[in-house]
Amino acid sequence: MAVYTHVRPAELDAFLAPFGIGPVTSFKGIAEGVENSNYLLKTDDASYILTLYEKRVDPADLPFYLGLMDFLANAGVRTARPLKDKSGALLGELCGRPAALIEFLEGVSAEPPSTIQARATAKAMAELHLAGASFPMSRANGLGSKEWAGLLKGVAPQLEKIEQGLREELEVNLKETLASWPHGLPAGVIHADLFPDNVLLKDGAVSGLIDFYFACNDTYAYDLAVMINAWCFEDGEFRSELSHAILEGYQSARPLSGDEMKALPILAQGAAIRFILTRAIDWINRDPGALVVPKDPRALLPNLRFHGTAKPSAYGAIGQ
């Protein structure tokens, strides 16, 4: 990322005062996340993540993200809990930026994921879907299926710089995907970005889902389709045992309907297109010296090709 806000101790102390936590014993900038400045902060009693929201996050969306994290944590879903200050606010200001203090969660990401980790994470996703159904706020998916044609149009002239034929492949696939896009499937709050690096695990159990900054209201099975893209391909090969574990884990908390199951290939194709498009945009606009190297959009082309010919049963079975 191009921005990393430097926080001085006096500013930090002023920000922290209303949270009533003990004196800071350690404070280190962490190199995670492309969108925000994150610090790991310790007191004698606990550890926290301090997040300063930089330009790429719309401040108007922060009450939704932080409210959702708080709501889900209270409902027993394993997510990082934002702290409330003495006035009950989840959001403060630090160095001229919106900022939040979030409970630190132990755990490491699954890289590469095991079936045990995939099953546990998918179950946590289903629990998020179930609990989120009573969350009172909503937020449209700014990167949902209705946005993809516009995104593709914007980036199309530069796609050939990434790979020859990429523009045509995406145009053909997007047309096919949108023509068959399912409507009326069960929908509600979804994570929308549940890649392995957004899940912390400890001893095979989920210690926390993190990074809710793409969360929105959309089709539940689309969230699962994102996860299948993010977890089930290794060096371009589909790892069916991981996908089966995901469907098993998810359905142990929320069984899929026949319509949801039938829609999986097209939802997964759409999810592949969504991430290829946003990665292509980041790739084209990357800072050559940035700390976080953008992900290669081409890494998802095998996914796109796989989903285009896959049958629903390739992903797993219904009602496990």
Nearest approach, Cβ of 9 to its own copies (angstroms)? Answer: 5
Nearest approach, Cβ of 225 to its own copies (angstroms)? Answer: 25
Of the pair 29, 186, the CB lying nearest its own copies is at 29
Among 18, 21, 29, 89, binds its own copies (CB under 8 A): 29
Of the pair 67, 107, the CB lying nearest its own copies is at 107
Residues 102, 82 contacting (CB under 8 angstroms) = yes
Burial class (CB in 10 A: 0-12, 13-18, 19+), 17: exposed
Range 87-126, binding its own copies (CB under 8 A): 106-109, 111
Cα Rg of the chain (Å, integer): 20
Range 220-259, binding its own copies (CB under 8 A): none
Of the pair 52, 166, the CB lying nearest its own copies is at 52
Instruction: Please report, for residues 32, 200, 250, 255, 269, the alpha-carbon distance to residue 320 in angstroms, rounded to integers and kept in the order given.
Output: 36, 25, 9, 8, 23
Q: How far apart are CA 47 and CA 207, in angstroms?
A: 15
Instruction: For residue 28, state whether it binds its own copies (rule: CB under 8 A).
Output: yes
Q: How far apart are CA 293 and CA 137, in angstroms?
A: 34
Nearest-CA neighbor of 195 among 136, 279, 253? 279
Segment near its own copies (CB under 8 A), from 3-11, 55-63, 67-75, 89-97?
Answer: 3-11
Of the pair 192, 230, the CB lying nearest its own copies is at 230
Range 34-63, binding its own copies (CB under 8 A): 40, 42
Q: How far apart are CA 88 and CA 196, in angstroms?
A: 32
Q: 3-class SS at 297?
A: helix
**Binding interface with its own copies (CB under 8 A):** 1-2, 4, 8-10, 24-32, 40, 42, 106-109, 111, 200, 202, 286-293
